[in-house]
Amino acid sequence: MRPLPDHSLAPELLRVWRISSLGSTLFLCIFPLGYFGASLLWDLPLWIMYILIGGVVLLGLFDIIFMQRWKWKRWKYAVYEDEVELLRGVIIRERVIIPMIRVQHVDTRQGPLLRHYGLASVTISTAATIHEIPGLKEADADELRDSIARLAREADPDE
């Protein structure tokens, strides 16, 4: 059996994920709001609105408190000399192997939220696929990007 990847993402990333999850929960509020708007125009039972509100709140809390933590816990990566390995997913688990010689380029990216927490994501592109390590400390991300780039350059392209 091959060992599983063991490097975790930056702990601050969990907070970033929770904030963006809060954002999408707020977006879900358009359903109860829309229903409320409709109930002003037509005669509709209000209890459905309370169910919708309850549903959104429960879903949001579950997502923010548990799902994001599980997702963070599950996300592991490892960079070996000849390949990069990723492991992720709460419900559907995925394990990806990307050989260094197939790597075409590596980028680091930083949105405003990630920048605020001093994080960056690393994107690894092959000719056919794009993979992302979503959040590392800026310095780690830069270092990882450079080391993947260097290893990819060194890898023997003939094999």
Partner 1 sequence: MNNWQRQHPAAILVSFFQGLRQLIVSFVVIFIFGSTSGGMRLLYTAGIMLVILTGSLIVSAVSWYRFEFRLIEEELQVKQGLFVRKKRYIRRNRVQSIHINAPVPQRFFGLVEVSIETAGGGDEPEFTLSALPVEKAEQIRGELLYGSEKEEIFAGEISSGMDQALSEPVEEKPRRTWELGFRRLLLAAVTSSGVGIAATFAAALLSQLPQFLPDWLLGIALGWIVQSSLVYIGLFIVTVLLLAWIFTILSTVIKYGQFQVTEQNGELFISKGLIEKKQLTIQQHRINAVRIVQNVLRQPLGYCAVYIESAGGGTKDEDFSTILLPMCKKSQVPELLETMAPDFAFTPEFHPLPRTAVRRYMIKPLIPITAGAAAASYFLPFGWLIWILLVPAALLGYLQYKSAGLALSDRHVFLRWRTLSLEEAFLPRPRIQSVAFTQNPLQRNAGLFSLHMSVLTTVTGKTFSLKHTGDDQKEDVMSWYSYQNGSPNASDIDRAHAETVE
Residue numbers at the binding site for partner 1 (CB under 8 A): 1-3, 6-7, 78-83, 89, 91-102, 126-129, 131, 143-144, 146-147, 150-151, 155, 159
User: DSSP for 25-46?
Assistant: HHHHTHHHHHHHHHHHHS---T
54 phi, psi to nearest 5 deg: -60, -45
Nearest distance from residue 89's CB to partner 1, in Å? 7
148: DSSP letter: H
By C-beta, is 33 or 101 nearer to partner 1?
101
Contact 130, 123 (CB under 8 A): yes
By C-beta, is 48 or 130 nearer to partner 1?
130
Nearest distance from residue 32's CB to partner 1, in Å? 28
Nearest distance from residue 79's CB to partner 1, in Å? 6
By C-beta, is 19 or 155 nearer to partner 1?
155
User: DSSP for 4-16?
Assistant: PP-EEPPTHHHHH
